[in-house]
Structure 1
Amino acid sequence: MHKRFPMGPLPEDLHRKLLNLTTNTKTAGAADAEKVDVKSSFNGETIGTVLSGTVEDVEYAFELARAAQQKWAQTPIEQRQEIFRAFHDRVLDNRELLMDIVQLETGKNRASALDEVMDVAINARYYANNVGKLIGEKKRPGALPIATRSVEQHIPKGVVGQITPWNYPLALGISDAIPALLAGNGVVAKPDSNTPFSCLIAVLFLYESGLPRDLMQVVTGSGTVVGSAIADRCDYLMFTGSTKTGRILGRQVGERLIGYSAELGGKNPLIIAKDADLDLVMREITSACFSNSGQLCVSIERIYVEEPVYTEVVNRMKVAVEAMKIGSGFNWDIDMGSLINQTQLDTVSRFVDEAREHGARVLAGGKARPDLGPYFYEPTVLVDVPAGTPVLSDEVFGPVVYIEKVASLEEAVEKANGTSYGLNASVFAAPETGRKIASQIEAGGVGINDGYAASWATVSVPLGGMKQSGMGRRHGPDGLLKYTEIRNVAEQRFISMRGPAVISRKVYADAMVTALKLGKKLRFLP
């Protein structure tokens, strides 16, 4: 049973154990390395320190990971599966410890921290159960029936680079690494400097579950130094973060012609149709907008409501948001926690202040709460936002949403798609109406009568962004196969592809044309 520690520094023995997992501590210059304080978002107090990494640290991390990966790639898939099944159980058994660390680093509420634990567990379960089917050798139809035997093989890329943000440091810090490792790769990861311990505790549990040491390296430090060095050395890059940074990294890895997957920004819409169940809407809408204090790439920032139900939605939304309990701590009754740091608080404040200056009306919230902690901001709902106000089009990445009335669902869809982003969207409507709308939305994930949780938790289906919200996919078969190279092994038997030596080329060519036409008619050729 986990004995909860207070909202202060990590216990010294745990802090030392986690710090020793970083590659930085293994290098010759570790004693002289710059130290970075990791502060709790709840109260701004230091909970631990990590080392600021260098290019040399990253170089050493890749040396270690590449050596380990050579052996790991030869490890039977069944053995890899058992490691990750054990990890799945260890994560769930230690959920209280994991949630405590996530909350200390990020300031999020308990329910949002649990989301991270569940995400890691379901990804470990899905990929451990399906890796054999996904990357096992598959027979494919050959060029010539019987004479050509063809198989498709999937081999690991090598060492995958991973750069993750602070908003979901446990889930994003390890869930994308799970399929990369199961596919036979090594991983070199850079967690955000605000939240390194959430990633490190998961790596500790991986090693305790049997993952070979050195296979997953963690280098703490800045994005400009450590992140860039990873992008220069990896065989595939997985990045989650802003669209601006995603473009920079895309150009960097593009120069080396390596694969790249990125989940980037979003300005996610929610449509409420006149035939929606408004009781259901009110039960789900606050979590859709304000989970993790709105610091979630798939959270809702825009709400479009059909005119007949607009007034009722606005009135009920005001009541629902004002009833939310915000605060710090490990209690389950807190609906929303803190923002991550001062920078994020300043950003959210600026968006709301600009909206006010443009003439928008604050329906609920709209101010910082220093009485609760240094970075708290109320869940905020805006209405009557004039055209040209930045909050209409720019990602806030905080607890701010606006509501807009529309005359029809056609207008709602047009407005929902009228952005350069396309990550997530939500539709609340009668089922048939919801499905019709969902098929018109330009987003990688669309929830019907749900904000984002159902599509995110359905890990069997690939998920990612359209337009400027990213490239590549996590989850589903794509979430693992992207970390592999495909090898086509074709064995020719009995007869040469160029035909028997005793037959002239002209005769063979005519025979092949006849065979192709017959194959099309009888459909026995691929």
Structure 2
Amino acid sequence: MSTPPATSEALSRRELDCELVDRLIGLIPATSGRTSTVYAPMTAEPLAVMPTSGLDDVEDAFAEARAAQSEWAALRPRARAAVLSDFHDLVLDEQQTLLDFIQCETGKARKHAFDEVLDTALVANYYARRGPGFLAPQRRTGAIPVLTQTRVLHQPKGVVGIISPWNYPLSMGVTDGLAAIMAGNAIVQKPDSQTPLTALLAVDLLHRAGMPRGLWQIVSGSGSVIGGAVIDHADFLCFTGSTATGKLVAQQAAARLVGCTLELGGKNAMLVLADADIDKAAEAAVRGCFSSAGQLCVSIERLYLDEAIREEFLSAFLARVEALRLGPSFDWNTDMGSLINAGQLATVREHVEDALGKGAVLLAGGRQRPDLGPYFYEPTVLAETPHEALCFTEETFGPVVSIFGFTSEDDAIANANDGRYGLNASVWSTDITRARSVAARIKAGTVNINEVYAAAWASVDAPMGGMRDSGLNRRHGVEGLLKYTEPQTVAVQRLHGITAPAFLDDERFAMVATAGLRMLKLIGWS
């Protein structure tokens, strides 16, 4: 792995606009008097001192959000869509500031921070254009032809609680919320304590785009305290994080009969079939395994190669891995940045050392890089990883991938389905019909053919989410919007009620109704 040459932009730490940071911090309701410090992963130096919200602050945030939500929900959907459309423009206009904030808080390479800008703008534009149509009253078949007119309305849930992760503080911190406010809801969000500034900056841009003050509240504090309080007050929950924590969130929400959407862990597999384009697959595998230093829920952690092309693929893949440029840089000259903190570094080291101790073979990487920064770790490739190794069964969430071979398609699919997760998968073949058949047999919420994750993720008109222990519910598409609404059926009955007319007794009415049902089936009425 190489280190990029020093340039005027290649700084280990970038000074953020102090006046802007202070203004953003002022958006947080916090009267507890306690504070916490946000540190820059690239250097472990402090970025900002954040006030901590207390339980009363969370309650006040929900009260203010509810007051704002009633007026917001009364607006026509196209008026709400206009805010999202203007926000799209601001995200693109202010992308350099957004990129600096994302990099400072996460330590990721700039091109991976830019993925968040792209995703956020894409989702904002999608719901701005399509949201009003999704929310329009829908005519449904009535009980009696002509006499019953039935429509379904989509009423907002109220105040949505969002608990967002540190790895994608803009994309995961904002895009679910865009669907929620498009649907007429308000939001109280608890961003991860390591990445609050990016979420605050996004809310500030939404204010500039015309979103009313108070509609989107940010509270600050530990997940066990403040996160729990958010769940206790929300009308719907959106959580992105670990499977273990997601199960606790689901239990707490269920106790209140509150719905939730959960995007949780993954142990995602990439299958390279014998007829795959090897160069394209190897190039994509590098992105799939090491984007954001592997700290991505849909990243590839298991690589299954047909034995017929295994050596050819490994040669192409390892050459690209060795050429990756690591470093603490705010320019575009690095390919991979830092892990988020000491805890994540410890997990990666433990998984690699455990695998090697149990017989895995190191093909690339496997070293911490303190010369670059406190939490840098080389992109690591393992082979012959035993099934009892931690990195086989558990999500590493770091720059580590294990290589396995297969000799039959059935074995490859069984291997991809091994374990408890089912978030994302990737299939590579020049025979698209064959690849589609394989994809349909993989138990994952998204499967990319001849891509690793971006094709499915960026198809924002289609649902995104996990199966099995990888989560519940979906983001993106119509599903990602209507989950934030309560469907309400409004039926208008004309001329005569659904009961026996005065000139028929109940027995004769039953006979007439039976004949009517047979006729409705005959003419295809449903």
| 1-structure distance, mates of 2:148, 2:334 | 64
The amino acid that maps onto 1:479 is G
Q: Superposition RMSD on alpha carbons, in Å?
A: 1.3
Deviation of 1:499 after TM superposition, in Å, equals 2.5
- Cα displacement (A) at 1:10: 2.5
Aligned pairs for 1:373-392 within 5 A: 373-392=373-392
Aligned to 1:162: 162
Q: Post-superposition shift, 1:331?
A: 1.7
Aligned partner letter, 2:60: Y
SS of the residue 1:421 aligns to: coil
The answer for unaligned runs of 5 or more in structure 1 is: none
1:8/1:47 contact within 8 Å kept? no
Letter of the structure 2 residue corresponding to residue 503 of structure 1:
L
User: Aligned letter for 2:499?
Assistant: R
- 1:178 and 2:184 are equivalent in the alignment: no
Alignment of 1:256-335 (within 5 A): 256-335=256-335
Alignment of 1:499 with 2:500, yes or no, is yes
With over 3 angstroms needed to count, the CA separation of the structure-2 counterparts of 1:48 and 1:9, relative to structure 1, is farther
1:80-479 → structure 2 map (5 Å cutoff)? 80-430=80-430, 431-479=432-480
Go from structure 1 to structure 2 and tell me whether the alpha carbon gap of 1:350 and 1:256 turns closer, same or farther (over 3 Å shift).
Answer: same
Taking the aligned partners of 1:409 and 1:78, their CA distance within structure 2 comes to 49
Q: Distance in 2 between matches of 1:64 and 1:9?
A: 33
How far did 1:58 drift?
Answer: 0.6
1:98 maps to amino acid: L
8 Å Cα contact 1:366/1:380 also seen in 2: yes
| TM-score (normalizing by structure 1) | 0.97
1: CA distance, partners of 2:350 / 2:420: 22
In the alignment, residue 265 of structure 1 is paired with which amino acid? Answer: G
Q: Would you say the 8 A contact 1:8–1:46 is kept in 2? A: no
Q: Which amino acid aligns with 1:16?
A: D
**Seq. identity, %:** 44
Q: Residues 9 and 48 of structure 1 are in contact (CA less than 8 Å); yes or no, is this contact kept in structure 2?
A: no
Could you list the structure 1 runs, at least 4 aligned residues long, displaced by more than 6 angstroms after superposition.
Answer: 3-6
- Could you tell me how far 1:319 is from its partner in structure 2? 1.2
**For 2:288 and 2:14, how far apart are their aligned partners in 1?**
30
Bigger shift: 494-503 or 177-186?
494-503
Distance 2:235 2:49 in 1: 30
Q: Displacement, 1:313?
A: 1.6
Distance 2:90 2:516 in 1: 58
SS in 2 for 1:265: coil
In 1, the alpha carbon distance for the partners of 2:176 and 2:302 equals: 28
- Equivalent residue number for residue 25 of structure 2: 19
Using a 3 Å threshold, how does the CA distance of structure 1 residues 151 and 387 change in structure 2: closer, same or farther? closer
C-alpha separation between the residues in 2 aligned to 1:423 and 1:23? 35
Deviation string for 1:215-240 (max 9, x for gaps)?
A: 00000110011100000110000000
Question: Could you say what secondary structure the match of 1:468 adopts?
Answer: helix
| Greater mean deviation of Cα atoms: 265-274 or 40-49 | 40-49
Q: Does the 8 Å contact 2:88/2:124 carry over to 1?
A: yes
Q: Distance in 1 between matches of 2:9 and 2:498?
A: 69
TM-score, normalization by structure 2: 0.97
Instruction: Tell me the distance in 1 between the aligned counterparts of 2:9 and 2:330.
Output: 9
Q: How does 1:23-62 map onto structure 2 within 5 Å? A: 23-24=29-30, 29=31, 33-62=33-62
Q: Deviation string for 1:309-347 (max 9, x for gaps)?
A: 111122222211111111111121211000000000000
Question: For residue 218 of structure 2, what is the amino acid of its counterpart?
Answer: V
**Does structure 1 conserve the Cα–Cα contact (< 8 Å) formed by 2:116 and 2:170?**
yes
Q: Which residue of 2 aligns with 1:490?
A: 491
The aligned length equals 517
SS in 1 for 2:128: helix
2:279–2:316: 8 Å Cα contact kept in structure 1?
A: no
Question: What is the distance in 2 between the residues matched to 1:309 and 1:178?
Answer: 44
Q: Distance in 1 between matches of 2:251 and 2:143?
A: 38
- Code of the residue aligned with 1:313 in structure 2: it is F
1:348/1:132 Cα in 2 relative to 1: closer, same or farther (>3 Å)?
same
Query: Is the contact between residue 4 and residue 97 of structure 1 (CA under 8 Å) also seen in structure 2?
Result: no
1:508 maps to a residue whose letter is F
Q: Deviations 1:190-218 (Å, cap 9, x if unpaired)?
A: 00010001111000000010000000000
Shift of 1:387: 3.2
Alignment partner of 2:372: what SS?
A: coil
Cα separation, 1, equivalents of 2:18 and 2:465: 39
Partner AA of 1:441 in structure 2: I
Amino acid at match of 2:521: K
Structure-2 separation of matches of 1:421 and 1:506: 56
Asked if the contact 1:326–1:337 (Cα under 8 Å) also holds between the matched residues in 2, the reply is yes
Q: Which residue of the partner structure matches residue 10 of structure 1?
A: 16
How far apart are residue 11 of structure 1 and its match? 2.1
User: In 2, Cα distance between the equivalents of 1:264 and 1:507?
Assistant: 57
Quick one: which amino acid aligns to residue 68 of structure 2? A
Measured in 1, the distance between the counterparts of 2:207 and 2:444 equals 37
Task: Give the Cα–Cα distance (whole angstroms) in 2 for the partners of residues 457 and 285 of structure 1.
Answer: 18
